[in-house]
Amino acid sequence: MSIKSKLRKARNQYIIKKVRNIKLPDFKDDEVVRYRCLLSGKLQHRGLRLETEHLVHRLKLTGYIKNKPLGEIELEIQGPSDKDIYLIEHILKIRRIWVKDHKQELIPVDSKESTFELI
């Protein structure tokens, strides 16, 4: 195993442990909404998608996250509005990344969706 692989494995283990130890606030049963977010900055190859995936599972949200060709990240999340907003605010505070710009918009709920995917 190369040093780069070992470092990536250690980073991933750190991220997973960090997400497991987050003390989540008490959430209300808010209305289910769906957000589309487009993030730009220094985002890729920093564990953002991994951290988002694990936190989404803890929050029981659905949607997807994917890298875009120009280094941006697209995220769609669906669930109670307070959980969606918590996730977006959490992402914007991650110290390993630098968000230069982010746009978010409410979009129609996908009633057939039941999972969260890394694309």
Domains of the chain: which residue ranges?
A: 3-118
> How long a stretch of residues is the chain?
119
| Per-residue pLDDT reduced to its tens digit, 59-100 | 999 999 998 888 888 999 999 999 999 999 999 988 877 788
Residue 45 predicted with pLDDT over 70? no
Instruction: For domain 3-118, give its CATH number from 3.40.720.10, 3.40.50.300, 3.30.70.100, 3.40.980.10.
Output: 3.30.70.100
Q: In terms of pLDDT, which residue wins out, 48 or 115?
A: 115
**Under a CB-based contact definition with an 8 Å cutoff, are residues 64 and 76 in contact?**
yes
Residue 44 predicted with pLDDT over 80? no
pTM of the model: 0.86
Please give the pLDDT value at position 110: 95
Please give the pLDDT value at position 83: 95
